[in-house]
Structure 1
Amino acid sequence: MVAARRTPIAPKGGALARLTAAELAAPVVRACVDEVVAEVGDVVLGNCVGPGGNVARVAALAAGLDVSVPGMTVDRQCGSGLAAIITAAEAIRAGDGRLRIAGGVESCSTAPVRIAAGVAYDRAPFAPPGHPDPDMVRAAQDLAVLDGIDRDRQDAYAARSHRRAVLTRSRGGFDAELVPLAGVTTDAGPRERVPTMLDRFPPLFPDIGGTLTAGNSCRDSDGAAAVALAPAGAGLAVVATATVGCDPALPGLGPVPAVERVLATAGVTLADVAAIEIVEAFAGQVLAVLTRLGLGDEDERVCADGGALALGHPYGASGAVSVVRLFSRLVRSGAPAGTLGLATAAIGGGLGVAALFEVVR
């Protein structure tokens, strides 16, 4: 990866609400292309709840790329952005040396209502009949119960995410990766007062003594992120990747086997990794993953500048946002060659995706 950019992230119905998925993605595609002078072989973007069709192709044309540049849209739900980057890297590794632009985009604000047999529905099934098929909110609550992760612990992690993101934003730590659009120049999500308000949020499942709240869960959001991948150059090299399945009743645990497989493939341990980005969909889910991986709640390597709990969660883009964050944390910050970074996400239906990267100078 030789370039990495993203839009500001805004909540559903917020400052980016009038932009379609392709309109969100086109500026970051263009920004990555402008940083690298090379023939573009393809544009690969993740997207979950968009309008259908080939959003990546529409975005490529909207970005002003030549009509000869194709596009491919990937749907691995909340892992789509990272899956798109992996797919693009695999094409280069297979021998096609042309530049790829890869990432993800989501406009929750303009997502269409889907209808089957005359009935509107919120989402497609994650699993077929006969298998558990919880939505991600209920699955996160079930995981918190399974692991005994109480509300105080979840709220503490959410507060950590907001504090770190507010601090990073205040010192300009996001500026180099952002592509302003529609007059929006900064993320809307990080809020200074949230850590002092978390105990006021009502539980989402009060009938079962639930511990999940709107405060320790992410917000549905709009945004896009992309990276430029080339056969060689200074930036982040893709070392190893993994996409695995897990119990669809507990999809939040998907990052655990995915990370374990990536580390085994690369022949390293988590002790060797300097920076870790996990899509923070729910504090309880993140904590369950960290515990199983042997990481503490306050591990300084994990989402050091805050994550989706503070910034927001544009589903199809979030995996790519994690990679852009790694690029800033490692490449833009001047980390030495050989420094390792890890990105991972849980996926509805019981999947996990992970990728290990190495700084190249």
Structure 2
Amino acid sequence: MTRPVVIAARRTPIGNAGGILRAFTADELAAPVLRAVRADVAGAPPVDDVILGNVFGPGGNTARVAALRAGLGEGVPGLTVDRQCASGLAAITLACSMIRAGEGRAYLAGGTESASTAPHRAFRSDPPTPYTRAPFAPAELGDPEMGEAADLVAREAGISRERQDRFALRSHERAVAAQAAGRFDAELVPLAGTAGAVSRDQRPRAGFTAARLARFRPAFTPDGTATAANSCAVSDGAAAVLVVSEDVRRELGVPGLRLVASATSGVDPRRLGLGAVPAMREVLGHGHPDVVEFTEAFAGQTLACLDAADLPEEAVSPDGGAVALGHPWGASGAVLVVRLFSRLVREGAGRVGLTALSAGGGLGVAALWEHVPGAGR
């Protein structure tokens, strides 16, 4: 069985919904990233398919539209995946599975989300009833809003408000430091916006303090601990990687991230924030990570998952995570792999890494990766 390897990884800057990327549709965000990833590796074989995660887009197979817009050619198909917030990582692990199955040798995979341009939707009623999201689960099984579920998970796991605020503060401090040091630069694909080039993430905030975070009120339930400051922002962005077979990587002589193990899991949809825990436990049976990239949708929910998987919170998101950078739903899982690629491959800061996140409906995806050196190293 051939082993899949990520040999290139890029992303757009991440913008707040209605912010710096508000003019870009989901396919317009993805196309320049696909082109950049494809161009990063000279001599790579033709792309067999493009697989992209997307949650709130317009439909119409966003991956196919983005592939055509990227100029990849009419012969490159396109598959759009929806596993809610885990869609981007699910798209990458699906590409890895297709390589293992021998269906192809090179795939562009990742995710894209434009919350700013997502269409308004309505239930079929008379008159039509607008809604902001589709159900994550049948109502009779429990279908809470994300913030409400995050408060429940944090309360049941005994995660204090103070610990959540400390985690959020660390995420912002790390992201601000990484941005200032240029550690995001190599992975970013600047976009030409209406007000000029967009080349930096919008959200990371300098100047936060523990005292300032403590002043934020509960955002979702009256006695909850999740606030606007220790939760992620709704965001726009795209991320993609080039996944090839191990024999292609050896022929090219380039370094990469080789997939060690991946898993997908489901839990009680009322506790959807814990969706990643079974998947994390499964892949952690194959090795211990030096770096963990976990989508920080809510600080309390993230900490509950890390505690359940016996992972130290200090090892997570070394350059900041979604609390600081934002959460472009369909892209966030792919952003994790891009960030891990930068840490392990571009910077050499570790050998083994974990990417994981929970998603609406009580879903979770996790993947364990190892750094593979290039020729002559």
TM-score, structure 1 normalization: 0.95
What residue is the counterpart of 1:249 in the other structure?
A: 270
Residue range with higher mean Cα deviation, 286-295 or 76-85: 286-295
1:200 aligned partner:
215
Alignment RMSD, CA only?
1.2
1:157 aligns to 2:178 (yes or no): no
2:117 pairs with 1:110: yes
**Equivalent position SS for 1:130:** helix
Q: Give me the whole-angstrom Cα distance separating, in 1, the residues matched to 2:33 and 2:81.
A: 17
For residues 182 and 353 of structure 2, what CA distance do their matches in structure 1 show? 21
Query: Shift of residue 335 of structure 1?
Result: 4.7
The answer to whether residue 21 in structure 2 is matched with residue 16 in structure 1 is yes
Letter in 2 for 1:194: F
Q: Which whole-Å CA distance do the structure 1 matches of 2:359 and 2:97 have between them?
A: 21
Deviates more, 1:123-132 or 1:220-229: 123-132
1:173 matched to which residue of 2? 183
Aligned partner of 1:328 in structure 2 is: 342
Pick from 354, 362, 376 the counterpart of residue 342 of structure 1: 354
Distance in 2 between the 1:205 and 1:47 partners?
25
Consecutive unaligned residues in structure 1, runs of 5 or more: none
Matches within 5 A, 1:1-361: 1-36=6-41, 37-116=44-123, 117=125, 118-181=128-191, 182=193, 183-195=197-209, 197-205=212-220, 207=222, 209-232=223-246, 233=249, 234-264=255-285, 266=286, 268=287, 272-297=288-313, 299=314, 301-335=315-349, 339-361=351-373
CA distance in 1, matches of 2:349, 2:226: 36
Residues of 1 paired with 2:209 and 2:369: CA distance? Answer: 32
Residue 148 of structure 2 contacts residue 221 of structure 2 at CA under 8 Å; is this kept in 1? no
Deviation of residue 203 (structure 1)?
1.3
Q: Deviations over 1:139-195 (max 9, x none)?
A: 001111112222111111000000000000000000000000021001011110233
Q: Deviations over 1:232-252 (max 9, x none)?
A: 222001111100111111011
Give the deviation of 1:98 after TM superposition: 2.6
Equivalent position SS for 1:260? helix
Q: Distance in 2 between matches of 1:23 and 1:67?
A: 17
Which deviates the most, 343-352 or 96-105?
96-105
Where does structure 2 lack aligned partners over 5 or more consecutive residues?
1-5, 250-254
Amino acid at match of 2:355: A
Q: Deviations over 1:229-270 (max 9, x none)?
A: 111222001111100111111011112111111123x3x3xx
Contact 1:158–1:195 under 8 Å retained in 2: no
Measured after TM superposition, the shift of residue 205 of structure 1 is: 4.0
% of aligned pairs identical?
57
Deviations 1:127-147 (A, max 9, x none): 114201111111001111112
Mapped to 2, the partners of 1:129 and 1:47 lie a distance apart of: 23
Kindly indicate whether the alpha-carbon contact (under 8 Å) linking 1:246 and 1:351 is maintained by their aligned counterparts in 2.
yes
Hey, what does 2:252 align to over in structure 1? none
Q: For each residue in 1:264-303, what CA deviation from the matched residue of structure 2 results, as whole angstroms up to 9, or x when unmatched?
A: 3x3x3xxx21111000000000111111122333x2x211
TM-score, normalised to structure 2's length?
0.91
Q: Which runs of 4+ in 1 moved over 6 A?
A: none
Aligned residues: 351
Q: Does structure 2 retain, via aligned residues, the 8 Å contact 1:162–1:195?
A: no
What is the distance in 2 between the residues matched to 1:255 and 1:179? 29
